[in-house]
Chain A
């Protein structure tokens, strides 16, 4: 059972939501990306966003502590966020990052709070891109609400208790949405036991280790920790910053030794982490099939195609 919302009532609906905290939704300029919304009319649901909203959960650079001489302090935990218009792949990417940052013995303080203080309202993709292969990636309905475009209406699927409270006043409606069909498919089974195959050398021949595949990926979360001093050299911040497993120094230890020396090793590690290692640990794939790492790779490296060719 879901709900129905007249399109003309969307602004009012979002306006009310925004009273709870920051509203974050896709805005179209030269690209479509998630931004904090001041003017609700600027929201654009038309295109699949080029960038996922991951930076609102794992910022590119985030202060983990501040120091002044030897006195340590922390930045404040921020209030509620409403993410509107997020696609199912990006919703699942967050859900999979939750495994890393929230589950286990040492949850990440800031990430955990951010996720607890978030309402996720998704938007259905009607037409996948040529590079999308989410259909192969077992996406789950892990949202609070999910919007479907129905002409003059939105059909809203309720995915959580939290979500249900937000739409309790809206009209009930019954609808069975059609599942998205992607032309591109990934045959994951082929990946097993191919560690040494020369397919990896071939695939990485043109890789330039730029790390764009990590940056654009909604579920790549690896980071480094480093200190940034201000000009006094006494004050500064310890920051947690995006890092790339494609950079050579990613595995470098003090003294200089690098464990993943070749591009082949590094790119294969990324793909294996996405599709094998993560699953061994969390019973899900880290990759959600958004295809961004393929679209935005300067060398057009397509790991899906490469895997599908394995025998």
Chain B
């Protein structure tokens, strides 16, 4: 007879992480810094499942990390996230992960990087940008192009000021206002306006429509499909290639992705 016992933890059990700080960035988006409670190494581009007991779980991408802390950008759009943004410093957040492949930092070494982010899609590449800033000698030139709907939707304003000091950083909004001094228009216009190195690796994250047009533009400029990395958003329930929700064309976004090279991703069909 097998003795029945209670497991201490299971595949889907979250850990408690203390909230260190919380900053409101826009009307509905917050930047949380929580304690890094994982014993696995995190990679830029990975995500975690965060939960509120009694409400549920949501996948959130890691937008920066070190040994002690993890940054998470939480936009109050769904059931879970609207509960999450009510949490205050010193309270606990429940997390499991980190999941996903993340960006292949080794492939990107010594390369010129072009980072393109739209809206909350700026969050995953933020950890790459911070990584590059910390390991500058490993990377060649890095340019950053960010797009938001309007000046009041601009995320990571303080970071952008820092990035501008050492990286070519450009920000555009779809619709400007009197205070807005930077570019106006969709992100693809920036790719025409500003010079990009003739050899570069591209990191893209944002709404599907932005991805589509940005990729088109990049390919028009004769860059290679295998030099474009795109991060995918999907319904992700388990994060560990079991629940089936995130599958696209036989690929698990939660483990094979969320980052895919375009030469592969372009073949994805629903």
Task: Report yes or no: A238 in contact with B12, Cβ–Cβ below 8 A.
Answer: yes
Kindly count the residue-residue contacts between A and B in the assembled complex, taking CB atoms under 8 Å apart: 136
Residues of chain B within 8 A (CB-CB) of A21 are 1-2
Q: Which of B32-59 contact A (CB under 8 A)?
A: 51, 53-58
Residues of chain A within 8 A (CB-CB) of B248 are 259
Residues of chain B within 8 A (CB-CB) of A254 are 58, 77-81
* Smallest CB gap from A261: residue in B: B270
Residues of chain B within 8 A (CB-CB) of A245 are 244
Interface mask (B106-143 → A, CB under 8 Å = 1, otherwise 0) = 00000000000000000000000000000000000000
Q: Given the known inter-chain contacts A80-B2, A107-B11, please indicate yes or no for A236 contacting B237, CB distance below 8 A.
A: no
Cβ distance B128 to chain A, nearest Cβ, rounded Å: 22
Task: Report yes or no: B250 in contact with A109, Cβ–Cβ below 8 A.
Answer: no
Cβ distance B239 to chain A, nearest Cβ, rounded Å: 8
Q: Which of B1-43 contact A (CB under 8 A)?
A: 1-14, 16
Whether A47 is near chain B, meaning CB under 8 Å from some CB there, is no
Interface majority SS (helix, strand, loop, mixed), chain B: loop
Whether A253 is near chain B, meaning CB under 8 Å from some CB there, is yes
Q: Which of B7, B54, B78, B247 contacts A255 (CB 8 A)?
A: B78
Task: Report yes or no: B54 in contact with A222, Cβ–Cβ below 8 A.
Answer: no
* Smallest CB gap from B232: residue in A: A259
Q: Given the known inter-chain contacts A70-B53, A233-B54, please indicate yes or no for A110 contacting B270, CB distance below 8 A.
A: no
Whether B71 is near chain A, meaning CB under 8 Å from some CB there, is no
Task: Report yes or no: A110 in contact with B10, Cβ–Cβ below 8 A.
Answer: yes
Q: Given the known inter-chain contacts A74-B7, A224-B245, A277-B250, please indicate yes or no for A259 contacting B2, CB distance below 8 A.
A: no
Residues of chain B within 8 A (CB-CB) of A240 are 12
Whether B161 is near chain A, meaning CB under 8 Å from some CB there, is no
Whether A276 is near chain B, meaning CB under 8 Å from some CB there, is yes
Residues of chain A within 8 A (CB-CB) of B1 are 20-21, 79-80
Whether A160 is near chain B, meaning CB under 8 Å from some CB there, is no
Task: Report yes or no: A253 in contact with B234, Cβ–Cβ below 8 A.
Answer: yes
Q: Which of A196, A221, A273 contacts B250 (CB 8 A)?
A: A273
Assembled-state Cα–Cα distance A226/B52 (Å): 11
Assembled-state Cα–Cα distance A76/B8 (Å): 10
* Smallest CB gap from A249: residue in B: B235
Q: Which of A196, A226, A234, A269 contacts B56 (CB 8 A)?
A: A226
Interface mask (B220-243 → A, CB under 8 Å = 1, otherwise 0) = 000000000000011101101111
Q: Which of B10, B55, B242 has the most CB of A within 10 A?
A: B242
Task: Report yes or no: B54 in contact with A236, Cβ–Cβ below 8 A.
Answer: yes
Assembled-state Cα–Cα distance A69/B243 (Å): 27
Task: Report yes or no: B7 in contact with A77, Cβ–Cβ below 8 A.
Answer: yes
Assembled-state Cα–Cα distance A259/B204 (Å): 19
Task: Report yes or no: B54 in contact with A105, Cβ–Cβ below 8 A.
Answer: no
Residues of chain A within 8 A (CB-CB) of B247 are 269, 273, 277
Cβ distance A114 to chain B, nearest Cβ, rounded Å: 10
Assembled-state Cα–Cα distance A254/B29 (Å): 14
Task: Report yes or no: A250 in contact with B10, Cβ–Cβ below 8 A.
Answer: no
Task: Report yes or no: A222 in contact with B234, Cβ–Cβ below 8 A.
Answer: no
Assembled-state Cα–Cα distance A107/B240 (Å): 9
Assembled-state Cα–Cα distance A280/B56 (Å): 32
Whether A65 is near chain B, meaning CB under 8 Å from some CB there, is yes
Q: Given the known inter-chain contacts A79-B4, A109-B11, A272-B250, please indicate yes or no for A67 contacting B53, CB distance below 8 A.
A: yes
Tally chain B residues at the interface, Cβ within 8 Å: 45
* Smallest CB gap from A244: residue in B: B244
Q: Given the known inter-chain contacts A70-B92, A273-B250, A276-B250, please indicate yes or no for A65 contacting B13, CB distance below 8 A.
A: yes
Assembled-state Cα–Cα distance A60/B255 (Å): 25
Assembled-state Cα–Cα distance A233/B56 (Å): 13
Residues of chain B within 8 A (CB-CB) of A265 are 270
Interface mask (A252-288 → B, CB under 8 Å = 1, otherwise 0) = 1111000110000100010011001100110000000
Q: Which of B70-86 contact A (CB under 8 A)?
A: 77-81
Assembled-state Cα–Cα distance A269/B234 (Å): 15
Q: Given the known inter-chain contacts A77-B4, A77-B7, please indicate yes or no for A225 contacting B238, CB distance below 8 A.
A: yes
Tally chain A residues at the interface, Cβ within 8 Å: 58
Residues of chain A within 8 A (CB-CB) of B14 are 72
Whether A201 is near chain B, meaning CB under 8 Å from some CB there, is no
Q: Which of B190-248 contact A (CB under 8 A)?
A: 233-235, 237-238, 240-245, 247-248
Assembled-state Cα–Cα distance A75/B8 (Å): 10
Residues of chain B within 8 A (CB-CB) of A273 are 244, 247, 250
Residues of chain A within 8 A (CB-CB) of B241 are 100, 104, 106
* Smallest CB gap from B96: residue in A: A106
Closest 7 CB pairs of A and B: A277-B250, A254-B78, A222-B244, A106-B240, A109-B10, A76-B4, A79-B2
Residues of B within 8 A of A (CB): 1-14, 16, 51, 53-58, 77-81, 92, 233-235, 237-238, 240-245, 247-250, 269-270
Residues of A within 8 A of B (CB): 20-21, 64-65, 67, 70, 72-80, 100-101, 104-110, 117, 195-196, 221-227, 229, 233-234, 236, 238, 240, 243, 245, 250-255, 259-260, 265, 269, 272-273, 276-277, 280-281
Q: List 25 A-B contacts (CB under 8 A).
A: A21-B2, A65-B10, A65-B12, A77-B2, A78-B4, A79-B4, A100-B242, A101-B242, A106-B11, A106-B240, A108-B242, A109-B9, A117-B2, A223-B244, A225-B237, A227-B53, A227-B56, A236-B53, A243-B245, A251-B234, A254-B79, A255-B78, A259-B270, A273-B244, A276-B250
